[in-house]
Amino acid sequence: MLMAALAVVALAGCAADDEDFTPGTADNGAYLYASSTNVTYGPDDQQVLKINVGRMDSTTEQTFNLSGDNDAFQVPSTVSFAAGQTSKEVDIPFSLQIGESQTVDIALPSDQKSKYGVDTLRVTVLRDYNWTSAGSGMFIENTFTGDSGTVAVEHAERTEIYRLVQPLKKMLGVTPNLQFTMDAKGNVGFDNGLFDFFAGSSKNQGLDYMYYDSDNYPDNCSFTNNNGVLELTFFVSDGSKLYSGGDFIFKWTKGYPAQSSFTEDK
């Protein structure tokens, strides 16, 4: 009790004796916020992104300017507040193809921003497919560990696009999906490019990236399908050098959809 009393006396003394204390300057700026900055929409969802604009001083009417850096998003140029209104939800229509992902930076001008909030909001929007189950199989990670495990397969409706669902989660502790194409006859395809497929794993020996380019490196980069046994070979990379020897094998043991003699597990 004595220490508590001394603390109260000390605090009271500071407040009474601090003649140099001045309150913070008034802030009539605005700030941006959103429930999520990574948003996924289904193919039939309305293409409207929602963010929020808040303001510090709600005593009067006010209008703030907004801008966006991506023409796929129709960011309104102004947001107006009535007296007494502290926040406002803003609708931002966008136009993306199914399967497309885009990022937009939404910003307030520097002379209208609050000192206490965010003036630029970066949002990534994915207009995703409808994914349905396409069975499962045994995935073998031959690049770093040699481990294997059962992995689910999904199919994007009305397309020839498939994906292995988080095939490296068990082996390497990372969660990207592995997406590819396959037609009704079992012909498969994989996009050329550099992918941060291994980033975040403690077992990847500092090699965060998968690099695939079957056009220029056909001896090192290939994707084949032998009656439901898929094999992908590729380079691994630290971002500056390429190393050959990347290899995944997937044995599609349940739900294989292509026309073949492959026998499913029952």
DSSP strand pairing (242-254 vs 193-195) = unpaired
User: Would you say residue 152 lies in a domain?
Assistant: yes
11 within a domain of the structure (yes/no): no
The secondary structure of the chain, three-state, reads: CHHHHHHHHHHHHHHHHCCCCCCCCCCCCEEEECCCCEEEECCCCCCEEEEEEEECCCCCCEEEECEECCCCECCCCEEEECCCCCEEEEEEEECCCCCCEEEEEEECCHHHECCCCCCEEEEEEEECCCEEEEEEEEEEECCCCCCEEEEEEEEECCCCEEEECCCCHHHHCCCCCEEEEECCCCCEECCCEEECCCCCCCCCCCCCEEEECCCCCCCCCEEEEECCEEEEEEEEECCCCEEEEEEEEEEEEECCCCCCCCCCCC
Tell me the backbone φ, ψ of residue 14, rounded to 5 degrees: -65, -45
Between 6-10, 89-93, 132-136, the lowest mean confidence (pLDDT) is in 6-10
Inside any domain, residue 250 = yes
- State CA 228 to chain mean position distance: 30
Q: Are residues 104 and 170 in the same domain?
A: no
What CATH code is carried by the domain that includes residue 65?
2.60.40.2030
Domain edge (last residue) among 127, 159, 174: 127
Q: Looking at the structure, do residues 115 and 135 belong to the same domain, yes or no?
A: no
pLDDT of residue 75: 99
Query: Mean of the per-residue pLDDT values for the chain?
Result: 90
As a whole number, mean pLDDT of residues 108-132 equals 97
Report if residue 54 sits inside a domain: yes
**Residue 79 belongs to a domain:** yes
Mean pLDDT of 29-41: 97
> pLDDT tens for residues 184-201?
999 999 999 999 999 999
Question: In the prediction, which pLDDT does 265 show?
Answer: 42
Looking at the whole model, is its pTM more than 0.85? Answer: no
The reply to whether 161 and 217 lie within a common domain is yes
Q: Are residues 41 and 80 in the same domain?
A: yes
Over residues 94-102, the mean pLDDT reads 97
Same domain, 138 and 245: yes
User: By percentage, how much of the chain surpasses pLDDT 90?
Assistant: 86
Do 106 and 36 fall within a single domain?
yes
Same domain, 37 and 123: yes
195 and 243 share a domain?
Answer: yes
Q: Is residue 3 part of a domain?
A: no
Task: Indicate if 123 and 135 belong to the same structural domain.
Answer: no
Same-domain check for residues 100 and 212: no
Give yes or no for residue 121 having a pLDDT over 70.
yes
Whether 260 is in a domain gets the answer no
Domain limit, last residue, from 127, 149, 166: 127
Q: For residue 53, which phi and psi values (nearest 5 degrees)?
A: -115, 125
* Domain end (from 109, 127, 145): 127
Q: What count of Cα atoms within 13 Å lies in the side-chain half-sphere of residue 163? A: 17
What is the band of 16 on the pLDDT scale with cuts at 50, 70, 90? very low
- When pLDDT is cut at 50, 70 and 90, the band that residue 25 belongs to is low
**Do 123 and 187 reside in the same domain of the chain?**
no
The residue range of the domain holding 237 is 131-254
What is the pLDDT at residue 24?
58
Q: Which residues lie closer than 8 Å to 147 by C-beta, 6 or more apart?
A: 140, 141, 170, 171
Q: Is pLDDT of 119 > 80?
A: yes
171 occurs within a structural domain: yes
Q: How many domains does the chain have?
A: 2
CA 48, 54, 59, 64 dihedral sign is negative
Q: Assess whether 65 and 103 both reside in one domain.
A: yes
